[in-house]
Every structure is written in structure tokens, then in C-alpha cells.
Structure 1
Amino acid sequence: MEASNIMDLEAFRQFCSQKKGVMECFPFDFETLVMKVGSKMFALTAINVRPLRINLKCDPFIAEELRAEFAAVQPGYHMNKRHWNTVTVDGSIPKEKILWMIDHSYDLVFKGLKKSEREEIRGKKT
């Protein structure tokens, strides 16, 4: 697989941080980077593990489809396995598909925020 198809940690961080209301934190330890939208996490990864592995929230039906399609998509490690996938970024999944999975996770979590928090992120005052 060509190198341009592989997302590294910095590309992951940059892609996530461009979304509205996103912040980075290390709430568990100094190695597990958590990306949150508002008060809820939508992605996390171990910063010292290669290849990059990203836990992403996913609709349960889509999660099953992705796991069947890609060996690099597994039930979420240390997460609710019905709602989270662990995606190993080893070049076997097209980069565009990984970006879509990140977007999907962000969207699911954003929709689950309280209305006041969603509106604050959108820039509206409640």
C-alpha cells in the first residue's frame, strides 16, 4: 500500500482538531490521547503504538459491516464492543474510509450531546 494512504498521529490530530468543538486531552494516562466534541469523546488512540490504532464510535449495524469488510476493523478495545471499533491504520483501509469513520464517530457523538451543548458548539446562544 502506498504511504500516502496511511494516516499518522499528526494527520489524525489535525483532521480531528479542525472540527467544531473538538479538544484533545489525556484523562486516563499520559499515552492515551482522547479527542472530545464538547464533553464527550469520539476518538482515542495510544500515542506510542505503531501502527496507529484509533477507537471510534460507530452505529452498531455499520460497525458490523466495517468489521466484515476490513480485517483492520475490530470490536473496540476496552470499549463497548457494540458501539465502538478499533481501527488499525496499516494501509489496508483507504484513507478516505478512515476519514469517513472519524466523521461518523464525531457526528454520532455530537448528536448525542445536550441541545444546549450542541448549540454552543454551533455558535448559537441558548
Structure 2
Amino acid sequence: MNRIGLIEGYDPERTRKALDLLLRDRNTEFQGLAESMGIPTNSEEWEVIILKFCLDFEQCFDIWTGAEEPDQTKTYKCMTIMREIAKGKKTVTEISHIQNVAYNLYKEFHNIYQRT
């Protein structure tokens, strides 16, 4: 199954190339996110699942900061993402750490994607 095609708004070939480049430097962060969300790193294309999560988090961040107007579907999606991030965490610091990692990964992905 080719999950890279499920990422809307991006060219699949450029997305794959940018993801591969990002994984060279940020594989540990991808693995940390996968572990915190219960996604096994031995599953097929787990990196694409994490990238999609980070890109979805970007949309939530834009809604939270007022850069984008929310609709009911996006609001529900963001609450689901937040619940997934918070699952099993004991402190707000742990949740913030996951959010920061997702934020940094989507920013770096965008930079690499634009250069490819």
C-alpha cells in the first residue's frame, strides 16, 4: 500500500524525497512520536503515518493561533489529534513536548519540500 498518496496537496514523488531527506536527520524524532502514539515502527510506512500526523497538527496549530478559521470538521479533527497526543501522558509538559516535535517536523518538512 502506498500511503504517501493519502497526503493531500503534495506531489507524492516530491513528498517521498523530502520525507527520506528528513528521516536522515530526524529519524529519532519520528520514532519518538510513533512510540508515544502507539504506532509500531516495524509496520509498513509508519514514517508516512507520522508525517501525515504532523501535517494535520500544522492545520490545528493554524486554527489555534487564529491563522485559519475553523469549521466543525476541522475542530473535531483537532480535538481528536489532541486526545491522541495526550493519551497516556501524565503532565502538560509531556504533551507540549510531543506538540513541539510535531511542529518542528512539519516546519522542516515544508523547508525540504520547497527545495526539492
Same topology, TM > 0.5: no
| Larger RCO: 1 or 2 (CA < 8 Å, sep 6+) | 2
TM-score (norm 1): 0.29
Q: Which has the higher strand share?
A: 1
- Structure-2-length-normalised TM-score: 0.30
Greater helix content:
2
